[in-house]
Amino acid sequence: MEIYQRKMNHNRDEYRKLRWQPHRIQVTGLFDAVFSKNSFADKVAIVGAGNCDDLDLEYLATRCNSMFI
């Protein structure tokens, strides 16, 4: 699995973030639903984040004190 992950990480291109944008917007919508109940979190843990292409980390950083990825 480690060899596969290394290969995938080296296979990144400049359009990767753009390709993940629709999914990232959907995931951000899920976080919006959570933050509608409590607008700020002290700590957020993200398990299995991989390359974080599907997460808007800048958005999450505005909503919490600490992120553990």
Where does residue 2 rank: exposed (0-12), middle (13-18), buried (19+ CB within 10 A)?
exposed
Q: Is residue 47 part of a domain?
A: yes
Residue at 4 is within a domain: no
Provide the domain count of the chain.
Answer: 1
In a domain, 9, yes or no: no
In a domain, 50, yes or no: yes
Query: What pLDDT sits at residue 17?
Result: 81
Q: What is the mean pLDDT of the chain?
A: 84
**In which domain, by residue range, is 55 found?**
14-68
The answer to the question of residue 35 being in a domain is yes
- pTM for the model stands at 0.69
Higher pLDDT, 34 or 52: 34
What is the per-residue pLDDT across 30-39, written as a single tens digit (0 to 9) for each?
A: 999 999 998 8
Confidence of residue 11 (pLDDT cuts 50, 70, 90): low
Mean pLDDT along residues 50-58: 84
In a domain, 25, yes or no: yes
